[in-house]
Amino acid sequence: MTRRCGKSARVPWVKPADITLPIYMAYCAIAGALRPWNRIGAKFNILLCPQEDYDFEVFQTAGRIFLGRIGDEERPWVHEVSKRWRQEQGLVSESDRVVYFKPVGHLSSDEEKLSADAILDMPIRTRRHAEAALRRFNVPIDNRYVQLLLTEPWTRLERAFQSRRPPMIAFDRLRRVPGSSSDGTPAPGATGPKLSDLHGLGSAVAWGTDLAIDLADYKAGKIGWDGVDSGAMLSGPPGTGKTLFARALANTCNVPIVYGSFASWQEKGSMDALLKAMREAFDDAAAKAPSILFLDELDAFGDRVTRDHNQSYMTGVITGLLQLLDGFERRVGVVVLGACNYPDSVDSAIRRAGRLNRQREIPLPDSGARRAIVRYHSGIELDEDQALMFDLATEGFAGADIELLVNDAKRTARRQRVNLSSSHTWNIFAQ
């Protein structure tokens, strides 16, 4: 094993034979997090914080391979933070290289923080990791394989890819033995509505249905990404269902959805922190590609024409967003769906061709749509007289207003300890 350029010490392209595809991907994530200590003889005590659920056995094996290539320990110290942590500290003090993994949701104690030389976020798996793993095992870089590596839970990857089993057989097993969904981790809200369940959303539903067909063809390798309509902007009054549409679109397309908004990013503090959070949202969506990145409150960004004391700040933020929208690497496999209440307030550069030029208005629901919304949320069919009065009483209501009233009707039925009926629904609307 040569060490002149150092690359072979960083990436295990050669044996040991117990490296599998998921172990190799885990190795890439660990090596990325520990890059400052990735040198022969380095000494450290690091607490790694995975940013997604992971399989400890996979990462323990990958961590031991990593430490074994920069040190000479027979059994490198790679453990998960547990109740035995205090008992292990005597042994840890005798080790030159220590890596602990902090399970997602575990709150680090002051003792753990004091003991560790550094507490680092471990990068989530990326398309780059998946493609590198495929090259390592001489597997064609096919988007179907990349998708499985990025979306399947780590535990399923660990069970499918075994050292005795050729990778192609493992991929076949993953496809044939469904887990939480046929494509891996389900999109958030996957148990919620699909586009076919929604009513009163105008031309947006037709656009989303076409997008689902394009994404299915893309995942099957029938078309390239340039054949997918990958950017659109929803507009309409508050409460008309823009966020609901985004969730239903992800469920219909069977892809993950990543949420972002100006307000959530601005909470990070400085403009640098805001831009970093914005980049992380795009990176997260790219890592889960094909995926949908939902950008809420686009009109809150304003435009670069308005003159006020915040102009330089907002110009920098909008410029950062434009760079991300134009970034080819971040956009492949990512459908960016923006939402706003006032489309004319959105900077014209965001709406130009190649970015979010497709605009779909979500209007206030008409009477037929309002009845369908009641039926969807309550399961109740209003009779003809009730429906006519309902149409008059709810004129100008948004979908969110109707859902709130249905929830009030359900609450009334619960307090009466009876099943929800049309009378409860009607009484609420008649008030």
Do 339 and 259 touch, CB atoms closer than 8 A? no
Q: With 60 as the cut, is the pLDDT of residue 185 above it?
A: no
Query: Is pTM, for the whole model, over 0.85?
Result: no
Q: Residue 172, Cβ neighbours under 10 Å: how many?
A: 12
151: CB partners within 8 A, 6+ apart = 183, 184, 185, 256, 288
User: Has residue 396 got a pLDDT over 60?
Assistant: yes
Question: How many other C-beta atoms are found inside a 10 Å radius of the C-beta of residue 92?
Answer: 14
Q: So what's the pLDDT on residue 90? A: 60
Q: Which of residues 100 and 51 earns the better pLDDT score?
A: 100
Query: What percentage of the chain has pLDDT greater than the value 90?
Result: 5
pLDDT of res. 162 = 87
Q: What type of residue sits at position 366?
A: D
- 131 phi, psi to nearest 5 deg: -65, -35
**What's the pLDDT score for residue 161?**
92
Of 314, 201, 321, 333, which Cα lies nearest the Cα of 255? 333
In this predicted model, what pLDDT tens digit does every residue of 121-143 receive, in sequence order? 887 788 888 888 999 899 988 87
Distance between CA atoms of 284 and 279, rounded to whole angstroms?
9
Confidence of residue 341 (pLDDT cuts 50, 70, 90): confident
pLDDT 10s digits, 9-53 = 445 544 556 789 999 999 988 988 888 888 888 888 888 888 777
Tokens 């435009």: give the residue.
Answer: 303
**pLDDT on residue 311:** 65
What residue ranges do the domains of the chain occupy?
Answer: 7-122, 195-361, 367-430
pLDDT above 50 for 326: yes
Q: Which two tokens stand for residue 172?
A: 């076949």
User: In this predicted model, which residue has the larger pLDDT, 34 or 151?
Assistant: 34
Question: What integer pLDDT is reported at residue 182 of this predicted model?
Answer: 33
**What is the C-alpha separation between 242 and 209, in angstroms, rounded?**
15
Q: Which one-letter amino acid corresponds to residue 49?
A: C
- Find out if CATH 3.40.720 is the number for domain 367-430: no
User: How far is the CA of 5 from the CAs of 9, 62, 129, 306, in angstroms?
Assistant: 9, 22, 21, 53
- Does the domain made of 195-361 have the CATH classification 3.40.50.300? yes
